[in-house]
Each structure stands twice: as C-alpha cells, then as structure tokens.
Structure 1
Amino acid sequence: MSNINETMKLKDILFKVPAATGVFREIDIDFVNHGDRTLKEAHEEGNFNLENILYELNELDKERIDGIDVSYMDQISIIKYIERKYYEDLLDELPVLNDYVEKLSKQYKKEDVEYDKAAELFYNIYREMTVHIETEQSDVYPLLLTYYEENSDVVYEALKPHITRLLDEHKNIVNWFKQIRSLTNGYTPVDSNEPLNVFVMKKLEENEENIMTLLHLENNLLFTPFR
C-alpha cells in the first residue's frame, strides 16, 4: 500500500505514484495547473467517489517512470530528462498523428461522430506544443539552467515573462485534451473493427498521457519558483 490520503497534494501523490496520472485524467482532475491542490479539495470541486479513488490510488504499484524517481532529481537533471525522454519523440510524432487525426475526421465526416471537432482541437495542441518545445529548447531551458546553477536574480526576472506565457499555454493544452477526451468518449473507437479508428484513439490517449506528464514536471517542479 502507498498510504495515499486525502490531505496530500496532487503533485505529491504523482511523485509518489506516477501511475496516478491515469486515474486523475479519467476523472478530469487537473494535476498540471492545480498540483498544489489537495485530493480533498479536488473532490470538493469534482464529481468522483473519494473513497473509491483513494482505494485505487493506494492499490497502484509504485512504478517509477522508466524506473526513475523524478522526485529525487534536481531541476537541472529534470531539464535534461525532459529533453531526452519527450522532446524528440513529440516533435517527430505530433505532425504525423495530426495527419492521421485529420484523415479519421474526413472518413467519419458524414456519420454521427465529432471527430472533426477533435481534429481541430488536436491541431491546436500540435501547433502549440511544437512552438512550446522549440521556445523552451532555444530560450527558456538555457536560462533555467543558468538560474538553477547560479540562483541569479537577473535571470529570474528575465525568465518570469517566459514562464507566465508557458503556464498559460499549459492551461490551453490541458483544456483542449479535456475536450478531445469528452468528444471521443474517453478515446473509445466508434468502430473497433476499423484499424485507423483504433490506432488514432490509442495514439491520442498515449500523447495525452505523455504531454500531461511533461507539463506536470514543468509546472510542479521546474516552474515552481515562478508561479
């Protein structure tokens, strides 16, 4: 048992049990932008059975992402970890997946599904994340490395407007994924016998999981001094 309780902050639950991201996403808990909220506070604003969720969280194996416990990593290591684990794959995969999502929306355009709206939302995510990653790699992360190495007030002030903009982008991305999840009934294919339908829903869910975890690490570890 992991001894998760209702007074723990969402971000601390995730650091202790990374697999909790799946539980939180399923019940629409925004752990990216509200990581400082306790599970009890999330319950008071949400619509889920707290006792059941606590049981589920405590039954989860304490599996670390890639066997790595990020809660013991310093900020410099986190920056390098994010770049290595997420950035190259996302920049390669997002444009390809965007094409598949558009293809799926055209295939089901005449039927009673809302893949066209989901396609528009995913295009927003693809566009935002691409610029987001490029900006962080070229401007923000080098400054963050300097800030955490030198604790410089000058660098801190230079970073603040960048971080403020990135935090706003995080809110947009979380909201767009929430809408896609709703439009697709939790990424459930409307035709489980159609390979493209099954593939796209699976990849959309995988991308949400990866991107939400990435944004969680930024908001609740890297960007904490600037929030």
Structure 2
Amino acid sequence: MVTFNSNHTAADIVKQFPKASDLFKKNRIDFCCGGDKPLGEVFETKSLSGEEILHELNESYGQWLENGNVEINWDAISDAELIDYILEKHHHYLNEELPALGQFVTKIYRVHGQQHPHLKELHEVYHQLKTDLESHLIEEEKFLFPLIKNYQEKPDLELLESIKKLNQDMEQEHIAAGDFLQKIHQLTNGFEPPEGACNSYRITYARLAELESNTFQHIHLENNILFKKFVS
C-alpha cells in the first residue's frame, strides 16, 4: 500500500484515493484548481497540522482498501470513456440540479431575507454561478468534448492546438466557479443553517453542500486527469 506523505499533491492523492476529497474539503485543502501543490507547502500556508492530517489520510486509505474498494486507473481509461463518465456523473447532475436548487435559494431569500440579510448576497452569487456553469457545460459538450473524441480517433496537430486552447479557457472558468463556491461556503457558514431554520432552509444548505462536492470532483477529473493528457 502506498503511504502518502507531504511530497504528494492533493490532486494525485484524490486521483488514486477518491474518498480523500472528504478529508481535504473538511480542512479546506484545494484538490482541483490548485491541487498540484505538495501537501507540505499547503500545510505550511494554511497553518495545518500535517502530521495529523497525513495520519488520518493514510489510516482511512488503508480502511478503504480493506473494505474491498479498488483504485481506478484513470490513465488506462480512454478519453472518450472519461468524457462519458463526466457527462453522466457531473454534467447530468448539474443540468438537473442548478435550476431546481435555484428555486430553493430564491425561496429562502424571499421568505427569510429580511431576518437574514446574507441571503441576498447568497441569491446573487448562486445565480451568477448558475449562469456561468450552464454556459460552461454547453461549451464543453458542443465544442471541447467532441474535439477530444475526434482527436482520439484521428490525431491532428491543428486539432491538438484547438483542444489546448479550449482547455486553458475551461480551466479559467473552473477557477471562477471555485471562487463562487468559496463565497457560498462562507456565506452559509460552511452550510450550517441558523438555529431554528425551517425545512426549506436546511434542504437548501444541504443541496448547496452537495453542489460544492460534486463540482469539486468534476473540476478535479477535468483539470487533473483529462486536460493533463494534452499538456506537452
């Protein structure tokens, strides 16, 4: 079994051990857009106890393997298979969830906004994120993903350069989405509803937490696995 240490990056660890993302999220360690930094550097920057986190990480990894889980060798999966996985697990989720969750965010702002002023900004930030993500999904589905599948079938230098340019654009949009999610995390106090919150309030916060988790995994798969295949 591999023993993770401070020289490993969060991105590489999540690639091998997906459940590590839970520990990284708990400690606000970026494993998607900024996941290429050695953990030792991250621990120092964030004043985290690296020894404790690494102990918990390696212990949970061992238990995960003992429970019969198997690592996915992402490098052995074709680009087309990875794209189909992203579409099924992440694009489909966002296309269904973004408008539905938007209704909940609007509802709690309308009902509770006067008592809880932060809901106004939450409403604004969420709908900015929603608009950006919906446009982002279309760009990937209509342009980037078909180009990658075409390149897999028939490699071409001009096609490769187009893919690299689109990848860079998508990575910038991922950074923007991450910033919005960070703001939402702050506005909701880590998705912790206020005391006495109604059921709709609690459901909204729980779904926002799931949105953050799903989107971080989505960005990780694209930035650290799919796009990396086209870095020369």
TM-score (ref. length: structure 1): 0.90
Q: 1:105 to 1:166 in 2, by over 3 A?
A: same
Work out whether 1:178 is the aligned partner of 2:205. no
Aligned to 1:217: 221
Aligned to 2:103: 99
Note the aligned Cα RMSD (angstroms): 2.3
Task: Report the residue type matching 2:32 in the other structure.
Answer: V
Match of 2:192 among 188, 191, 212: 188
> How far does the alpha carbon of each residue in 1:102-132 deviate from its partner, in whole angstroms, 9 at most, with x for none?
1112222122451221221111221111111
Verify the 8 A CA contact 1:101 1:119 in the aligned structure 2.
Answer: yes
> Residue 8 of structure 1 aligns to a residue in which SS?
coil
> How far does the alpha carbon of each residue in 1:38-81 deviate from its partner, in whole angstroms, 9 at most, with x for none?
111211222322112112212324379x9772534232211111
> Residue 24 of structure 1 aligns to a residue in which SS?
helix
Q: Shift of residue 197 of structure 1?
A: 1.1
Runs of 4+ with >3 A deviation? 61-64, 148-151
> How far does the alpha carbon of each residue in 1:194-215 deviate from its partner, in whole angstroms, 9 at most, with x for none?
1011100110000110111011
Verify the 8 A CA contact 1:191 1:198 in the aligned structure 2.
Answer: no
Q: 1:83 to 1:112 in 2, by over 3 A?
A: closer
Aligned to 1:5: 5
Structure 2, unmatched stretches of 5+, are none
Q: Shift of residue 192 of structure 1?
A: 5.2
Task: Report the residue type matching 2:22 in the other structure.
Answer: G
Task: Report the residue type matching 2:59 in the other structure.
Answer: E
Verify the 8 A CA contact 1:70 1:78 in the aligned structure 2.
Answer: no
Q: 1:193 to 1:116 in 2, by over 3 A?
A: closer
Distance (whole Å) between structure 2 residues aligned to residue 134 and residue 10 of structure 1: 28
Aligned to 2:64: 62
Q: 1:115 to 1:26 in 2, by over 3 A?
A: farther
Verify the 8 A CA contact 2:20 2:57 in the aligned structure 1.
Answer: yes
> How far does the alpha carbon of each residue in 1:72-110 deviate from its partner, in whole angstroms, 9 at most, with x for none?
423221111111222122101111101111111222212
> How far does the alpha carbon of each residue in 1:142-181 deviate from its partner, in whole angstroms, 9 at most, with x for none?
1011223433211111223322211110001111111111
Distance (whole Å) between structure 1 residues aligned to residue 79 and residue 87 of structure 2: 12
Distance (whole Å) between structure 1 residues aligned to residue 109 and residue 129 of structure 2: 16
**Which structure 2 residues correspond to residues 141-156 of structure 1 after superposition, within 5 A?**
141-156=145-160
Structure 1, unmatched stretches of 5+, are none
Task: Report the residue type matching 1:180 in the other structure.
Answer: I
Q: 1:54 to 1:192 in 2, by over 3 A?
A: farther
Task: Report the residue type matching 1:53 in the other structure.
Answer: I
Verify the 8 A CA contact 1:192 1:198 in the aligned structure 2.
Answer: no
Match of 1:119 among 120, 123, 131: 123
Distance (whole Å) between structure 2 residues aligned to residue 142 and residue 131 of structure 1: 16
Distance (whole Å) between structure 1 residues aligned to residue 2 and residue 183 of structure 2: 31
Work out whether 1:207 is the aligned partner of 2:214. no
Distance (whole Å) between structure 1 residues aligned to residue 142 and residue 214 of structure 2: 21
Q: 1:57 to 1:125 in 2, by over 3 A?
A: same
